[in-house]
Amino acid sequence: MPAEIILFIHIPKAAGNSLNAMFRNSGYQQIDLVNGTFGAPPPKPHFYTGHYALSHDIFQQCRDMHYAVFSIIRDPIDRMISNYNFTLRRPGAPWHQDVVDGALDPAGLARNFIDAIGHQYSHFARSPTDGVDTCYYNLLTCLHAFGLSERMDEARERFSRILGVDLPSTAPKNVTSDIQDNGTRLISRDDLTAAQMRELAELLAPDIYFYERARDEYERRAIEPTAAKDWLF
């Protein structure tokens, strides 16, 4: 039976808006988990999306229902560069003026971002004490599947197979490129100095460790696909 409920853990700056559009275009109603709260569920099918973690109460609410849990992860350095470009272009974004004025470089913004939101791996914590290794274990055992942001077609095929629904191919949604150009130049890895790259790598070391382990496991599963789960928790 096709899953009627999707729990999508949307990692900031990791192609989550593209997945949201894909689910909407396949007939799932979007429900945003705002400030960690949720109301009465709507008619099925629907999906819950937001920057929440595996510790969210929504997992208990859905525990007796037929649902699937997905997420997309991204190379940590590319993710922080993407966040820098978004902050540079979006006037309302936190630390926008500091970035525009040059008071915050990519590493400085990344440090603020992590202090405020946490590392990517923290979205897979089921308790406040879960460290990076536990979060990696949770990623593998508490999700039906995860994808890599640079390989969205594979994620679409994998998620479709698990859901029992043919998710439509959807043009990638780049929030930063959709923002009106304010005269600032977006950056890439090539624009970072060796010192800035080292600083980012040191700052993101736990997340790089998490991502590289997850990517290796993703490759292994691509060769030896595992059966989809029918329930969690």
Distance from C-alpha of 230 to C-alpha of 67, rounded to nearest angstrom: 8
Quick one: tokens of 232?
A: 């969690």
pTM over 0.75: yes
What does the chain come to in residues? Answer: 233
Three-state secondary structure call for residue 171:
coil
Q: Are strands 29-32 and 67-73 parallel, antiparallel or unpaired?
A: unpaired
Task: Give the relative orientation of helices 132-142 and 205-223 as an angle to the nearest 10 degrees.
Answer: 30
Quick one: tokens of 201?
A: 């790598």
Domains of the chain by start residue, with CATH: 5-223 (3.40.50.300)
**pLDDT tens, residue order, the chain (233 aa):** 678 899 999 999 999 999 999 999 999 999 998 755 666 667 779 999 999 999 999 998 888 888 999 999 999 999 999 999 999 999 999 999 999 999 999 999 999 999 999 999 999 999 999 999 999 999 999 999 999 999 999 999 999 999 999 999 877 666 666 666 777 888 999 999 999 999 999 999 999 999 999 999 999 988 875 544 443 33
Q: How far is CA 97 from the centre of its chain?
A: 25
Three-state secondary structure call for residue 48:
strand
- Taking phi over 0 as left and psi of -120 to 50 as alpha, with beta for the rest, 15 belongs to left
